[in-house]
Structure 1
Amino acid sequence: MNLAVNTVLRNARRYGGDDRIDILLSGGRVARIAPAGAIPADGVPDDAEPVDLDGRFVGPGLWDSHVHFTQWVTQSRRFDLSPARSAAEALALTARELRRAPVPPGETLTGYGFRDALWPDAPTRAGLDAVAGNVPVVLASGDLHCGWISSVAAARLGVTVDDTGLLRELPWISVLHDLSARRPPTGAYASAAAAAARRGVVGIVDFENADNAGEWPARVADGVTSLRVEASVWPDRLDDALAAGLRTGLPLDPDGLVTFGRLKVVVDGSLNTGTALCWQPYPGSPSSHGMSLVSPAELTGLLVRADAGGIRPAVHAIGDRANTEVLDVFERLGLPGVIEHAQLLRAADVPRFAALGLVASVQPEHAMDDRDVADRLWAGRTGRAFAYGSLHAAGATVRLGSDAPVAPLDPWQAIASATSRSRDDRDAWHPEQCLPPEAAMAGSARGRLHLTAGDVADVTIVDDDPLRAGRDRLRAMPVAGTLVAGRWTWRDL
């Protein structure tokens, strides 16, 4: 596959600017940027296509720094539980789905998207069994940290569930992995990648719990070429990765679309599931501070082993105690890395991100989805929840993502939530934690706000200036074009 396509983008504008510029893309890179008209026709390769942008805005290609791509692709095969405001409503949706589409023998009915933290009633295994009958039913929570499983499904999957029917964290993640073992067809991946390109996305960081280093090059070879991919590894595959000589940044396909990413370690749970590890107990549970899934000692061992082989870490930490412990490990080891989520932070820990050279990889749509849950489960602490403004002010490097399918794989949703802390008709939630537009855009483009000569030609073209667009316009931002190494992956021009 040849990525080196030559193009001249004429009459473009930079974010935040009004002056027109021309941009020559050649050999997969930004070869030249000059005032409009200053790149003459005889100054470009003969095969270069001129494209008049008519004043549209051009910037570095956008990345989603945290996705679970197979789960995102598979989501369309699961019925939607997000409207459920109670266990009873979730059961009613399940019953309706069973009537709508009878489940073939040997198959499992799966739903996705319930959020039970604020439900007035509790899930029970008996309640789900009464609706499911002899059909195996598995319902996944919206944060992917919990599942509600019928007795028939539990028996088929070889797991034990208590009277709630709920399975949480690592045992549940194993079930989720088993459910995803039968991969969607390649065309489904290609469609999802193309949809991301239509929203200006040039690359993703895939944290799927899978053999990403093996599966993604095969997908690219089969034609899934709309995105760059950083393919992560989980601890259970770390030894194999080290034995194979894989290291962070290593190209995994001939065109360099797929590179080996980071070691993903999940040290605690989630807010909605009530398993994020916190210093203070959860309301009504004085002995419950959440769950420690990987101890500091275990984390230290994993990071040391990975670092010896050139594999950099990305550590999931949501609760404030989990973040403190992870920061402590990074400080002791003197390693660079990424902390994924960083949803609740002690004030004293905020400046440590910059001081230790750590990236805060955050998902701003979660702040909108979870604001009511946070107000309840983290009451009195939400001023330091999803504290993007504080991290930015303290000099931390902030990267934006979606955690798809937990939130849509659409960077404009993240940018809008990061800059406004509001959605729909609701007032801003802790507006002091808004990110400036420049920081949000840079956080979605790997730290860059503008293209410069010599850059790889990963480019996003939009109709409006994102630095001056309002919240709702950002969410619906018209994307006119996306290029990866100068090759169009989406074009509406």
Structure 2
Amino acid sequence: MTSHTVLYSHGRFYSAADPRATAMLVRDGRIAWLGASAEAPAADVVVDLGGALVTPAFVDAHVHATDTGLAADGLDLSGVRSAPELLAAVAAFAGTRGPDAVVHGHGWDESTWADQVPPDAAELERVAGGRRVYLSQASVHSALVSSSLLAACPGIEAVPGYDASGWVREQAHHAVRAVALGSLTPAQRAAAQRSALRLAASRGVAAVHECAGPGTSSEQDFASVLALSGQGLPRVFGYWGELGGALRARELGAVGAAGDLYADGALGSRTASVRSAYADGDGCGEAFVSAEQAGEHLLECVEAGVQGGFHAIGDAAIEAVLEGFARAAKVIGVDRLRAGRHRIEHVELADKAMIARLVEFGVVASVQPVFDALWGGPDRMYAQRLGVERALASNPIGAMYATGVTLAFGSDSPVTPLDPWAAVVAAAAPRNPVFRMSVRAAFGASTRGGWRAVGVDDAGVLAPGAQATFAVWETPGGVEGGLPALLPGVEGEVPARPVCRRTVLSGETIYEE
């Protein structure tokens, strides 16, 4: 049987193996050769790159495919700045849907409003013409819902997080979310997932980590998106976030019982578990996992041979989870625990002692740099919730990198857009300049870091023998240090962003403009 070969010639390649390469030969899904175009071997197919830049493809280490597809094809509320604007958007969108449809919307963020009081359930019911309405807040840890959607959840009044206004949080949010997403037919769900994965491929993303679990999605939703993996689309690595669910995660085809396994909530909803009370509200949030439970979960994951992990945003939640790592290490030893590459999602409020423990236990920090770009600094949502001092100490991604924490960058889409270059920029130019890292390091966390987080060590680089997984870019802003120019120059001019022309996964083109 003759191997099929493709030569990509007359390009520029971001490759430590051959920084001067202008051509690359791909055979059977792997890189077979790098070098000068004039010296390239013969190939079955030749693709002239016309001077375009070739880099390893991106990996998005935290996505929700169904929600992303619904947001991309549905009601985007990220631009509304008041309750009346939100109601007008819902009314206009509801008019395009059938009378029995559920109106799905996403992205409203009351912290950007002058009057931060959202509309109530009765108002949503009225403008939607009686249709059930589910509008997830930007953090996806709370939602505004209509009266009829509340009525579709019997007994919800007794569920923690319920509010008669229709702004529901945590367990009550999970209940209404299950009804809203359960209204989708299997075909509608798969269509939304395909839409999300196609969008990812068009942004140079060749693999995603789908973070699912009870309260986030469903087993049916999870199975549906895993079935699409690599079918002319990005590869999907699935995480099932259920405490004590290591064996179930393995049965479902997940690589880990991790991802959205909630140790706490979110800062935007004031439900992240923090050590000091919120500056703009009562209490210290919600804690869902104790140190003892975290340790038991990790031991179960080691025994089952899957990754373990948690969603932990607040410093109290992170502290509890890391104490769980310490408890597990006492039982099985640090080396065996480190070998599992267990992970924590978000890690937004971590001090130096916590960062040191992340290194000690070999924890992968799956982080979202665009959170800081959207909500960090002295005058945005984090400052409202935490005060300026704590806000400026949040998302210490550069400090984690400098200390030796393994990083994997993601978007948490649809919480932030599927835009991997935005993550690179946000990490290289954070709100607090103390936490800066180089563009090269941020790019590595967005590419190779995502592969290493799922135990794949032969991808994320352009080198002979590595997986032929890469993206081709037009770079109107120029190239600096082998990568697209991204940061403002001395005169403050922001370079134009790269444009993806092709995405290739293990030798197969999954996107071509």
TM-score tier, shorter chain, comes to 0.7 to 0.9
Q: Distance in 2 between matches of 1:168 and 1:430?
A: 30
Cα 1:188–1:289 shift into 2, 3 Å: closer
Does residue 467 (structure 1) correspond to residue 483 (structure 2)? The answer is yes
Task: Quote the residue 2:275 is aligned against.
Answer: 279
Does residue 358 (structure 1) correspond to residue 363 (structure 2)? The answer is yes
Task: Quote the residue 1:8 is aligned against.
Answer: 7
Q: Distance in 2 between matches of 1:261 and 1:294?
A: 14
Cα 1:6–1:40 shift into 2, 3 Å: closer
Equivalent of residue 393 in structure 2, options 375, 384, 402: 384
Alignment-mate amino acid for residue 236 of structure 2? V
Identity of aligned residues (%): 28
Q: Distance in 2 between matches of 1:219 and 1:457?
A: 20
Instruction: Give the superposed CA RMSD.
Output: 2.9
Q: How far is the alpha carbon of 1:321 from its aligned partner?
A: 1.3
Q: Distance in 1 between matches of 2:384 and 2:252?
A: 47
Cα 1:298–1:414 shift into 2, 3 Å: same
Task: Quote the residue 2:172 is aligned against.
Answer: 171
Q: How far is the alpha carbon of 1:185 from its aligned partner?
A: 5.5
Task: Quote the residue 1:311 is aligned against.
Answer: 306
Give me the TM-score of the superposition, normalised by structure 2: 0.82
Alignment gaps of 5+ in structure 1: 249-259, 422-428
Q: How far is the alpha carbon of 1:31 from its aligned partner?
A: 1.3
Deviations 1:239-291 (CA, angstroms, capped at 9, x unpaired): 6626849563xxxxxxxxxxx785641111111111111111012435x1111
* Preserved contact between residue 484 and residue 498 of structure 2 (Cα < 8 Å): no
Q: How far is the alpha carbon of 1:474 from its aligned partner?
A: 7.0
Cα 1:264–1:80 shift into 2, 3 Å: closer
Q: Distance in 2 between matches of 1:284 and 1:180?
A: 32
* Preserved contact between residue 230 and residue 261 of structure 1 (Cα < 8 Å): no
Alignment gaps of 5+ in structure 2: 330-336, 450-458, 489-493
Alignment-mate amino acid for residue 478 of structure 1? V
Considering Cα pairs closer than 8 Å and 6+ residues apart, tell me whether 1 or 2 has the greater RCO: 1
The residue correspondences of 1:322-471 to structure 2 (distance < 5 A) are 322-334=317-329, 335=337, 336-371=341-376, 372-379=380-387, 380-421=389-430, 429-447=431-449, 450-464=461-475, 465=479, 467-471=483-487
Cα 1:272–1:53 shift into 2, 3 Å: same
* Preserved contact between residue 20 and residue 55 of structure 1 (Cα < 8 Å): no
Q: Distance in 1 between matches of 2:59 and 2:90?
A: 35
Cα 1:228–1:313 shift into 2, 3 Å: same
Q: How far is the alpha carbon of 1:226 from its aligned partner?
A: 1.6
Q: Distance in 2 between matches of 1:81 and 1:485?
A: 36
Q: Distance in 2 between matches of 1:261 and 1:37?
A: 49
Q: Distance in 1 between matches of 2:110 and 2:252?
A: 43
Q: How many residues align?
A: 462
Q: How far is the alpha carbon of 1:439 from its aligned partner?
A: 0.9
Does residue 139 (structure 1) correspond to residue 135 (structure 2)? The answer is yes
Deviations 1:67-96 (CA, angstroms, capped at 9, x unpaired): 000111111454232223233433343344
* Preserved contact between residue 129 and residue 150 of structure 1 (Cα < 8 Å): yes
Equivalent of residue 198 in structure 2, options 187, 194, 197: 194
Cα 1:264–1:377 shift into 2, 3 Å: closer
Cα 1:164–1:289 shift into 2, 3 Å: same
Most deviating of 128-137 and 402-411:
128-137
Q: Distance in 2 between matches of 1:261 and 1:25?
A: 35
Task: Quote the residue 2:453 is aligned against.
Answer: none
Q: Secondary structure at the match of 1:24?
A: strand
Equivalent of residue 477 in structure 1, options 492, 498, 511: 498
Cα 1:22–1:131 shift into 2, 3 Å: closer
Q: Secondary structure at the match of 2:467?
A: coil
Q: Distance in 2 between matches of 1:242 and 1:386?
A: 29
Q: How far is the alpha carbon of 1:131 from its aligned partner?
A: 4.3
Q: Distance in 1 between matches of 2:437 and 2:134?
A: 38
Task: Quote the residue 2:210 is aligned against.
Answer: 206
